A and B are shown apart, each in its own frame.
Chain A
């Protein structure tokens, strides 16, 4: 843990009003901690959210904040970052806010690679409107608006992110504090759009949706914590690993069929080619572990920096730099 002059308390404001047991509480604690460890001054941070349970989060931050309108947080954050690149911007969205009504802004923000951090709190349900299926709800999901089950397939956030040429994708479980803090810090350090999918439980309308990874012992069995440069091992005793097989991945047990640690894939989050990152991000139980940690982290020019660079470049070439000089570039005639 790095030393900064801030503590988690410096970033706290207000009293969260989420339901007792909601995954957002745990995430908020991790977020405060991560910001303290990063040490960016609270007045240089803007937390921008859309609408939904999780989008209430800016009210619990002692930073600049804007709780905006449904789905538009990515567009609003884009404008804020382009206008003021000195700000550190966190966008908070839920799965409905970010991927349904805000899907277009989500993909285009990622495509442009605006240097903001998008936290996608995914509980696979509309909570604030009291329990309708969301774009990440599984096919057949029964909810108030799908009493006979949905007849549509869900989005998988990583697929959208990579489809939009995303350069940073990480995943954590809301109640899994330590790794969440690390993932948030890595996202903040990444230049460009960072997408952090937070698997978050809705205790009222979709309790248990992330049961596979809800408890520590479940995560030991059903999740793999990816770390750049480390072999992809998991299991209570790190006895399982991932290997490439043909176009896909397979789970192997060390010692079985002559498999040794040498055979296990080593995670390369910085690889330009996103093919394996996508494979990892889409792994699901029970056959595969759910990937947690930083899955992809690739450098690329950011939109806001490119905007600034182009302005500097054009300004150096053009001979007019203020309004009077601009006027003088036109064809004029004089009345004497």
Chain B
């Protein structure tokens, strides 16, 4: 029967799983992503959690979503809108319908659309589809009933049976896209290796969902294939989110530098998963201290740096404000420190689970005094690994605190990641003092090539010294309030950071070399800006993209790039922080701006519309 069905081939497809917080939508979405990646599709995913820990069941605030974008070629974002929406209850349908395209297929669990369920989701009419004006194809499956029936002899309690509904939905989606269901079974058996009864039940229901689709054709007009067209680089891959990639980057850097990794942190959404991840890996010698507050998180890291570790502190939102004083101590004491800021919606507590790029200027300038600090921004979930690694390398080799900016979107979003070969990463060589330097050595003796001072780690004989938050003499290392010395030290600290640019790659420009419009962005918006560029070019526009990873110092060719194109637009998820910074750094440059602060990732279509307008102006 299935053979008679029309099978449509697609380049890419977006599936959004949504349901109650307890419905297991994150797991279903993740598994669909992994099953697709296994056959060679590129993937990009984004979880959309509710702000409440456990909102009342079935209510609008309790809806949890997980969007998966799979493609036969490269995919850069989790997608603006979905081709398939799984809505496990009326609340999910109501809140998630806005993410549907006109031709989207909607899958619902018809058992959870009773009058009571509709009331909880504040529907007023009996038919929620007409109330929302939905004209899409809808697959109505009585998922709850079928799971109960299927598992009635399993010996599991009603609650455990109820929890398998997500696998029925996943099975159905796998049928719709001709995915290999055996891969799903393998993932489930691994996940529930210690609970074989639960594994059996989930596997059974997964196949039930698949067979339900095959047997009934799920009353849809066609099913789909997303073949793997573009040969991905050979090697082993895994699915990784930004926070985990960040943690991995830190561990890789510590191993490469031959140093102990120390993380001083305080729980804060959405940065906490970095602490969780690192806390697991004691067998690599990682030391994590969950401190009494954000201040102690950063302060203890400064202490660890003084004592000779690769010291890191991680935070988000208001946490970065609290750390600024201790960050400044690392600036004046010239100690290596990595400060990770997983940006979220602000100001104040703001939107803790949502994403923004609003801490850029705070990272660059949010401290008292002249306080130059390198700032690097990761561009995607997988780039968090490289960005974290490079932040560590720069901190250790240039004896400076470094801010690593990520954001809630790339921290929680995930993508396929080719496992790195550590031997292919650059060496990390901190500027340690050597015994021959002992005679006449002073704490702020510098390497004239990059103005970096040398690192004398406590415990080293012959290099006892005192550093601290008071200005010191560049000559002797003693406290100094001498006017010329302070001016000199201020310049030296700035020059030290500027010199980092000597070893940074040039700012790369993608797209048309004769572009009418250059798009400029930084950090986690790379995927959306790249997709917008691709869309515009497909429409025949001449467009280029220059995406910044290092913001301080800027790549040396930044001014040259910005001046090369007739029009430049800086697109960022704040009110113009990068644009303002670039205007200050690159004199006379004329920049258009696209600014959006909604807590959500950019929408590619909105970018395309805005950029088109700028081109046509």
Contact = CB atoms under 8 A, between A and B. Distances in A.
Given A75-B295, A80-B307, A336-B234, A311 B469 contact: no
A51 B299 CA distance: 14
B307 A83 contact: yes
A105 B283 contact: no
B299 A105 contact: yes
A333 B38 contact: yes
B34 interface: yes
Interface string B500-536: 0000000000000000000000000000000000000
A44 B262 CA distance: 20
A58 interface: yes
Given A67-B470, A72-B325, A79-B289, 14 more contacts: A64-B465, A77-B303, A79-B262, A83-B305, A87-B307, A104-B292, A108-B291, A310-B282, A326-B251, A327-B419, A331-B238, A333-B37, A333-B238, A335-B236
A328 B190 CA distance: 15
B311 A79 contact: yes
B333 A326 contact: no
B114 to A, nearest CB: 38
23 contacts: A43-B458, A51-B469, A59-B479, A64-B306, A65-B467, A66-B306, A66-B333, A67-B469, A72-B325, A79-B303, A79-B311, A81-B303, A82-B262, A82-B289, A83-B308, A84-B458, A311-B285, A317-B283, A323-B248, A326-B251, A332-B419, A333-B236, A335-B236
B486 interface: no
Given A320-B283, A322-B255, A64 B458 contact: yes
A43 B461 contact: yes
B295 A72 contact: yes
Contacts of B295: 72, 75, 105
Interface in B176-224: 187, 190
Interface string B246-286: 00100110010000101010000000000000000111110
Which of the listed residues A41, A48, A69, A318 has the most CB atoms from chain B within 10 Å of its own CB?
A69
B309 interface: yes
A165 B287 CA distance: 24
B304 interface: yes
Nearest to A310: B282
Contacts of A76: 299-300, 302-303, 306, 326
A271 B304 CA distance: 34
B331 to A, nearest CB: 12
Contacts of A318: 282-283
Contacts of A72: 295-296, 299, 325-326, 329
Which of the listed residues B309, B464, B478 has the most CB atoms from chain A within 10 Å of its own CB?
B464
B299 A83 contact: no
Contacts of A314: 282-283
B40 interface: yes
B465 A65 contact: yes
A307 interface: yes
Contact of B307 (A46, A67, A108, A321): A46
A330 interface: yes
Interface residues of A, number: 57
Given A43-B464, A69-B329, A104-B293, A84 B307 contact: yes
B237 A332 contact: yes
A14 to B, nearest CB: 8
Nearest to B237: A333
A190 B329 CA distance: 30
A58 B283 CA distance: 36
Contacts, number: 206
Contacts of A43: 458-464
Interface in A80-102: 80-84, 86-87
Interface of A: 13-14, 41-44, 46, 48, 51, 58-59, 61-69, 72, 75-84, 86-87, 104-105, 108, 307, 310-311, 314-315, 317-318, 320-324, 326-327, 330-336
Contacts of A77: 303
Nearest to A87: B458
Q: How large is the interface on B (under 10, 10 to 19, 20 to 34, 35 or more residues)?
A: 35 or more
A124 to B, nearest CB: 25
Interface string B152-189: 00000000000000000000000000000000000100
B224 to A, nearest CB: 21
A242 B335 CA distance: 52
A79 to B, nearest CB: 3
B566 interface: no
Interface in B217-241: 231-240
Given A75-B295, A79-B262, A332-B237, A48 B285 contact: no
A3 B465 CA distance: 26
B63 interface: no
A46 B311 CA distance: 17
B283 A65 contact: no
B422 interface: yes
A104 B325 CA distance: 16
Contacts of B350: none
B468 interface: yes
Contact of B299 (A64, A79, A311, A332): A79
Closest 9 CB pairs of A and B: A79-B303, A79-B300, A67-B468, A83-B304, A76-B303, A318-B283, A75-B299, A80-B303, A75-B296
A15 to B, nearest CB: 11
A307 B279 CA distance: 11
A237 B435 CA distance: 57
Nearest to B291: A75
A59 to B, nearest CB: 5
Contacts of A311: 282-283, 285, 287
A83 B303 contact: yes
Contacts of A323: 248, 251-252, 255, 284, 422
Given A79-B307, A83-B304, A87-B307, A331 B34 contact: yes
A82 B255 contact: no
A12 to B, nearest CB: 12
A76 B458 CA distance: 14
Given A69-B329, A336-B234, A82 B304 contact: yes
Nearest to B302: A76
Contacts of B462: 43
Contacts of B248: 323, 326-327
Interface string B317-359: 0000000011011000100000000000000000000000000
Nearest to A72: B299
A101 to B, nearest CB: 10
A38 to B, nearest CB: 16
B273 to A, nearest CB: 15
B101 interface: no
A64 B255 CA distance: 26
Contacts of B470: 67
Interface in B596-614: none
Contacts of A322: 255, 284
A37 B231 CA distance: 71
B287 A83 contact: yes
B152 to A, nearest CB: 32
B306 A335 contact: no
B329 A84 contact: no
A326 B236 contact: no
Contacts of B301: 79
Contacts of B479: 59
Contacts of B262: 79, 82-83
Nearest to A106: B292
B150 to A, nearest CB: 26
B585 interface: no
Nearest to A51: B469
Contacts of B135: none
